[in-house]
Structure 1
Amino acid sequence: MAKKVLIVDDAVFMRMKLKDILEKNGYEVVDEAQNGLEAIEKYKATQPDLVTMDITMPEMDGVEALKEIKAFDAGAKVLMCSAMGQQSMVMDAIRAGAVDFIVKPFDSDRVIKALDKVMI
C-alpha cells in the first residue's frame, strides 16, 4: 500500500516538483497546503503517513504548524523543507519534533532517501 503524504509549501512550483518526485517513487500525495494553517486542517482531515513541510510560509510558518500537528498527533512524521541559510529554523523544527529535513532545490535521490528512512 502506498504511503500517504501531505505536501505543504507556499510555492506552487515546489509542490508540483515534490509531488512529481513522490508519485514516481510510489508515494500517494493525499493533499497539498500552501500555509501552516491549511496544513493543520488538512493533516486532521487526511491523516497522512508523512508531511513535507516548508519552513517559510505566510499565515503560519512551518515550525509553528509542526508544533500544532505534533500537539494533535504526537506520532506525526513531519519532514521539513528549507532553503539554504535557514539552519537555525531547521534546528528549531528538529527540537519541535521534525523527523528530518531536506534542502531546496530538491534533489530526487535525497528526497526519496529521507522519506524511505522516515517511513521504516
Structure 2
Amino acid sequence: MERDTIVFSSNILLIDDDEKVRTFLKIILRTLGFINVDTCNGGLDVERRMSVKPYALIFLDINMPGVDGMSLLKLILQKHPKTRVVMCSADSTAQNVKKAMTAGAAGFLAKPVLAKNIIPLFDKMGVEYDDLVSEQRSH
C-alpha cells in the first residue's frame, strides 16, 4: 500500500503521557518546518482525533498509563494503514525496537528524544523538512 509523502503541511500527532516530551517534540517539529502538529496524552483522545483529521505521521510513546502503545500502534495501522507511526520509548532495547518494527512502526526513537536523532530518521523515511538545525551549526 502506497503511503502519503510527508511534507510541511502534513498533519502530525504526538501521543505521549508526558507533557514535557510532547512540548519538546512539537518545538523540534516546528523548527523543522511542520505547521500542523497536534498533541494528546493517549487513550480515547487518539481515536477521537483520528476520526476528525487524517494524520500522515504519529509519534507514539510505548509506555503510557491505561493504554499500551503497541496495542495502539496496531489499532492505528488497522484503521489508518497509510499513517506512518514512529514509536518512542526510554526502553530502547533491541527486543523492544524489533517488536515495534515487526508490528508495523515506520521508525523508533529512543528517549530522551533529541533533534539530532529525528533528522536521520526523517532522512531514512523520506520525510521533507527544513534543515535549520544543521544550518545553524555551520554559521
Q: TM-score, structure 2 length as denominator?
A: 0.76
Gaps of 5+ in 1: none
Equivalent-residue separation in structure 2 for 1:6 and 1:110 (angstroms): 18
Give how far 1:86 is off: 4.6
Aligned residues: 120
Kindly indicate whether the alpha-carbon contact (under 8 Å) linking 2:56 and 2:82 is maintained by their aligned counterparts in 1: no
Q: Which runs of 5+ in 2 are unaligned?
A: 1-7, 129-139
Does residue 11 (structure 1) correspond to residue 18 (structure 2)? The answer is yes
Query: Deviation per CA, 1:31-50, whole angstroms, max 9, x where unpaired?
Result: 21112432233223221110
Aligned to 1:66: 73
Larger Rg belongs to: 2
Matched-pair contact (CA < 8 Å) for 1:52–1:78 = yes
SS of aligned partner of 1:26: coil
Residues 77-112 of structure 1: CA deviation (Å, up to 9, x unaligned)? 000111035543332221111001011111102113
Matched, 1:105 2:105: no
Check the 8 A contact 2:15/2:42 in 1, yes or no: yes
Residue 62 of structure 1 aligns with an amino acid whose one-letter code is G
Percent sequence identity over aligned pairs: 32
Higher RCO, Cα 8 Å, sep 6+? 2
Q: Which residue of 1 aligns with 2:58?
A: 51
| Cα distance in structure 1, aligned partners of 2:26 and 2:104 | 23
Q: Secondary structure at the match of 2:13?
A: strand
Counterpart for residue 121 of structure 2: 114
User: Is 1:89 matched up with 2:96?
Assistant: yes
Q: CA RMSD in A?
A: 1.9
Deviation at 1:116, TM superposition (A): 4.2
Q: Which amino acid aligns with 2:77?
A: K
Matched to 2:85, the amino acid is V
Q: Check 1:116–1:41 CA distance in 2 against 1; reply closer, same or farther (3 A cut).
A: farther
- Cα gap change, 1:117/1:74 in structure 2, threshold over 3 Å: closer, same or farther? same
Aligned partner of residue 66 in structure 2, secondary structure: coil
98-107 or 42-51: which moved more?
Answer: 42-51
8 Å CA contact 1:40, 1:65 repeated in 2:
no
TM-score scaled by length of structure 1: 0.87
